[in-house]
A = this chain, B = another copy of it.
Amino acid sequence: MSLIVVGSVAFDTVETPAAKADRVLGGSATYFSYAASFFGPVRLVGVVGTDFPPAYRELLQSRNIDTAGLETVEGKTFFWRGAYEKDMNKRTTLEVDLNVFGEFDPTLPEHFRDSRFVFLANGSPRVQMRVLEQVARPQLVVADTMNFYIESQRDDLLKLMRRIDGMVLNDEEAFMLTGASHLVDAGRKVLAMGPKFVVIKKGEHGAMLVTPTGVIVLPAYPTDRVVDPTGAGDSFAGGMMGYLATQEVFDEPRLRRAMAYGTVVASFGVEDFSLDRFRQIGMDNIRSRYEQYRAMLAL
């Protein structure tokens, strides 16, 4: 398995009705790579400022995450601050400082260029494309995006969409990107833009896979300990790609199982702030919860 991810590495300050976490390790590439690392090694491409603690880099390295692509440049690390309401599906972004991430122009380490599995996490479609162009012979390329880029860099995003195999985005983004008002319809419209499959994330309501041959919906795993949903979508993608990177073919049954692994991995992630819950578990915990999830859905 040679899985590469590009995305943000950040400090997050998260307020929930019950607790607060101050300047903890976050970012799309962080959550993704840690979640994927349960399945095998991950190559991380990103940028941090000189304020990024060595301990955070070591935390990633200790999990089979190759941080050779995590540049340090003069300045401050991406910072995000947000607050969740009592209904944890609702959050407000209170502060975003892109800092060094705003000028990010990634150059891949030589030994990253033979990566076969590519995940382009949340980020500018231009940066996503630049990474993709540096991978010699990608076998499976999946990209995420977000509202900001759908609105401000739509042409670049559409260009990228013609180069990828799969797309992962949330329901709101799918509606915004396609103009559809029904999820299945949104999924089909995404396929018409290029990708061979799309996974639409619905937060606590699970996820929908749309392929040219069908529609699959899986529910979220019903954990009753939701401490912090930040990064759940990225952890989902990490579990999904982590599983796919252990496979040879990517047919519907494999994609479905990949979604299920993503679901289970993400359900652990929300049980504490930052990577704290992930740090307590191993692949055995993931397998055991996967079995419970499988049994729950067996009719």
Q: Report which A residues bind B (CB closer than 8 A).
A: 17, 86-88, 181-185, 188, 202, 204-206, 208, 215-224, 226, 256-257, 260, 290, 293-294, 296-299
Contact = CB atoms under 8 A, between A and B. Distances in A.
Given A217-B219, A219-B217, A219-B219, A185 B297 contact: no
Given A296-B216, A297-B298, A299-B294, A222 B184 contact: yes
Contacts of A216: 222, 296
A166 to B, nearest CB: 18
Given A205-B206, A297-B299, A299-B297, A181 B86 contact: yes
A181 B184 CA distance: 28
Contact of A202 (B181, B183, B205, B290): B205
Q: What is the oligomeric copy number? A: 2
Nearest to A206: B219
Contacts of A218: 219, 297
Contacts of A293: 299
Given A86-B181, A208-B222, A297-B297, 4 more contacts: A206-B217, A215-B222, A218-B219, A218-B297
Contacts of A297: 218, 297-299
* Most B CB within 10 A of own CB, among A88, A208, A222, A226: A222
A187 B127 CA distance: 45
A268 to B, nearest CB: 16
A217 B215 contact: no
> Top 7 A-B pairs ranked by shortest CB distance?
A205-B205, A297-B297, A184-B224, A217-B219, A86-B181, A294-B299, A215-B222
A183 to B, nearest CB: 8
